[in-house]
Each structure stands twice: as structure tokens, then as C-alpha cells.
A and B are shown apart, each in its own frame.
Chain A
């Protein structure tokens, strides 16, 4: 067991010592690589919140991970391990950090080589820490909170971008789009949900936008769930901003967009950051009118990648939407498989080394070859997207764009 620098609460201490003893008792299972024969399946933990409030995202993430595992196995498994198959161990984080931690303990006891997933920042913070106790490699699929990666956990890797990178890209993109449109937007209103994600973003926007010549008329916080957006929309209507910036989850986003349509509120643009619905094919399909023209800065696949397009077709053929949970998990499993090939071992320490030195380029995300510094993939970045003609197009960065921004829309 590694020594941990994080202060322990009484409860965590009791849990860790009790489970540490259990892990010692099952030591042979926890370090199976010594005895592993060529071709022995490699166990991979697929940890998602498949029940509770995050169940939709969790189910989508699980789908992405399982598709990647199926494809890798069908293509002959891990060749450096004599064609070893990936053996997924599915776990349910129950949409809570405690639920996620319990699954990590189970997966560790079952001898997985690596865990992929977590989804929410709160869950990832807890699960990465639990996995660190066993030097168990952990790839965060989504969890954007910056402090997931800044605690010095050697086992923790994140393929996708963190919050700070996304927020900065969002602001840069917005300025680029607005400048190209002759500074059409001068006033903005921010509507955000009041937890870490929305409130953190609102704070950042409030700090940076005035420097760039925007006037923030009002910042409105709302809880999740919010049943009714009429009052908020009335406020927007009264102030009549050029630009509305929402930062909230899917359900609230849908209600906000619909209420704006009902109340005939049409700003020059809606620009969301990690918008719950703005880069969701489901939203576009169900509310084409409300969605049209909405811009977003969010996780997005590389639209120019044939592999990504093929995966999109495959997911849609299953009757599911191609959401970011799907492709981020798909890519994260690919990252692990690539590391397993180079490590030529399912040993946890060797796998951590291989992940840390990863230069994987054959993936579906617009990140370029991987390069990890303290576990964070340096090339990871979000895309600027816009709903155009009932489809979602990438408008920025130009290198991956398949459409030009349309702004202002009214």
C-alpha cells in the first residue's frame, strides 16, 4: 500500500484499514500478473453511476466502455499478452461518492488491472483516491473538476480536458466568434445551476468577460432541479441581453430553452459552456426550433475521424444518442488497451508507467497524440459547437471544424 498525503477522516481511516487488511488477505488476487499465463483475460473495472439521478449519463458511459471492449476483443485482444481478452467488471456508483468507493473496493478485491469511469466530479474525487490506496490505475472518463488531477495521485489519469481548460477555451472561442461578427454582442446574462460546476463557471466568466469588453448584466443562480424557469426568463426579458450564457444540466436546460421560446425571448445568441443540452443530439432532435443556432463549448469527438463517425453510426443503430459520455468512455478504454500493449503486462505498476508515458494517436477525440503531465492529458481540449440545420457542427478549433459559426442568429 502506498502512503497517502491526504488527511483522513475517522470514517475513511476505519474503512481503509479494514479493507487494507482484506486486501492483504487476498494479496495473490490483487497482484495476479506474476502468475498470469499468456492469454489470460485482463480484468477492467467499468465504473458508472447507472442508478440514481445520474443514471442516464452512467448508462451512456457504460455503453461506450462496453463497445470499446467488444471491439478490442473482436480484433484479437491485447496482442502483447498473447491475445488476452479484456474482461469487463461492471460496477454501479449509484450516483454517490460513497457508492463509487464501495465499487472500487470490490473491483480491487476482484483483481482488476485498471478502472475506467466515475462520470461526476464528486464521484471521481472519491474513487480515484480509493483506488490510489491500492496503486490501482484509474482513468477518469469525464469528471472535469480541476482538483481531481492536482492532488498528486500517481494512479490517476484523465484523457479529457478539465474545467479550467474548458472554461478558458470557451471564453477564447466566444471572443473569436464575437470579433468575427464585428462585436455584435456587448451585454451578457449568465444563468447557472448553483453547484460546483455552474457556480465555478459563473465566477470565472464574471472575472474574465468584463476584461474582454463584455458587460455582464446579471448572473442568475438556480438549484437543480428547478421546476419553473418563468421568473428567470422574465428577468432576461426585462434586461434584454445580447447573449445568454447558460451553464446547467440537461433537464433545466430544456426547460429554460422552452420557456424562452414560449416567452418570445430571442437574444442574438445563446452560448453555453458544458451546456447540458446544447450539444445533445437528443435535444436537437426533440426541439429543433429551440435548439437552432445555440452554441456550446463542450466535449466533442473529432468529426473528421472516420473511426468516430463509424462509432456514431453504431451507437445510433442501437437506438441511442451519441453523447459525450459514450465517446469519452470509448476513448478511455482505448487508452488503457494501448497502455496494456506497451506494458506487455497487466501488472498495475507497469500499467501506470505505460499510461504515464503514453503517446497514443489512434483515437477519436480532437486531442492529438496523448501526453500526460501529472496524469492530465495535455492535448485534451473542448470543441466549439453550434446547432445548424438540425445537426451539431464543430465551429472551433478551425483544425477540426466542419462548419463556420453563424452569429448573430437574430
Chain B
């Protein structure tokens, strides 16, 4: 991309971001944010971060967008009351000064960073072969800094435990979300019949190529989550009760396999999360395959919120 295109992209991003902050209606702001998120993926591509672009499109724009749109429609009644709370001029001026100062300081830092920047790319390249995978980002995520990735899966699970813990006591063990209403001939139901098989294939494909090309379990897991969400929203499938044993097993299976493979490394490779010579790639794939369904279930349920009707609810 040429500098002119970059400038245009930046101008659009800033305009949408500005809109997101100043829009009067929350719904308009959220709509601006979702478009902003989609445009942002172009910025990642422009910065040669294709894996990040995929993640941003799937999670940053897609799932977060869905989450915020859902919340906006539920909270619409509170808009007017909130507007009455709007802070006075003094607060706004002060906030503007603080925000400008922070932005200016960051801008100065960006200009002052050493050129060329320090990089671990040569070291990653040097050790890439021993991990057996071709995508350097997958090597970082699954080998050099595998601990972070393991913890990240656990973070998601903690988030879900936190969300579930907000349930009202009488619905504990029940199903999240509203009771499904099926419109068998609606467009949603149609899509929900057609898309999921395709999405399943795409999700698994994204996981599979992630070893050597951009992609991986988070992006693939999000696609699977989106397909399941489609089924849930169309009413063709009901959300499972949180007390179901299979749900809980599905949630912990991925992190548990990750930990077990890590512990295996202590015995066969001399270090926790280490892989023995020649077996790195198969073990990495074992972890990713185990994580994929767990991530899909976790991401979907994060979006569905706490249980809010009894298990026997239709």
C-alpha cells in the first residue's frame, strides 16, 4: 500500500474513532466501533501482521461487536437517565487535557523509539526449525512463550466462571440467554441450516493451516463459536445448562490437555512446556486440536452471559 492509501486509512480510522467517542446514541457509537474494528484489520495487514488481522477481525470486531450490540439493545432504556448524568464542562476540559497529554507523550515515544527497532525475529528464525512449525507466530505462541498461551486459555475460563457467578441463585445450574423462539422459515433459520457445516470446515482449516501459515486455534475457535451462536440465535439449538457435565468437560479439556502436555515435557524434554526432539509439531497439534473446541465453547458462553432460566426451560 502506498503512503496515500495509508493516510486515507488513518483518516478514516480516526474519524470513526472520534464518532465512537462523541456519538450521542450508544447504538450509533457501537455501530461506528464495529466498522472501525473491521477497518482496523486493514491496518494490521498494512503492518504485515496478518495473524493479528485475523484475530482482530474475528474477536476484536466480530465477537466484541456482537457483545456490545447485544448489550446496547438490552440497555436502551437507561440511555436517557445516563444523559442526565453527563459530567460538567470542567470535567470534560480536564479529561481532554489528560487525554491530550497522554496522547502527545505516546506520540513522542513513537518518534523516539530506536531505529531500526530491536527485534527477536532473528532468534525466532534460528530456533524455528526445532519447533517443527512454519509459522513463526505459532512457534512463539506454542513453544517459546507457550506459558502465556496456556494462561490465556485459563484467563478465558476465569472470565466465564466470573460471569456465571453473577447468576441469580434460583437459576443456578440453568441455561444462559433467553428462551429460543423458532421461526422455521426466517432468514436466520435458513442461514443456521446452511452455514454451520461450512463454518465447521473453515474453522478446522484455519486451525490446521495455522501451524505453517497465518491462522490458528483462536481464530478457528471464533469461527466455530460464531456458527454455534448462529444456531442459538436462530432457535434451532438451545444453550446448554451450565450444570451439564459435558459443558464443563468441554470447557476444561483444552487447558487440561495443555497442562498435561506441559507436564509430559518435564519428563521427556527436561522442562515444563518443552517438547522432545522431533515430536514438537505433533504435540503442538495435539494441544491446538484440544484447545479448539474448548475455546469455541468458552467464547460462545462468554457471550451468552450467566444462566438466567431453569434447566427445564424450553
Asked whether A and B interact, the reply is: no
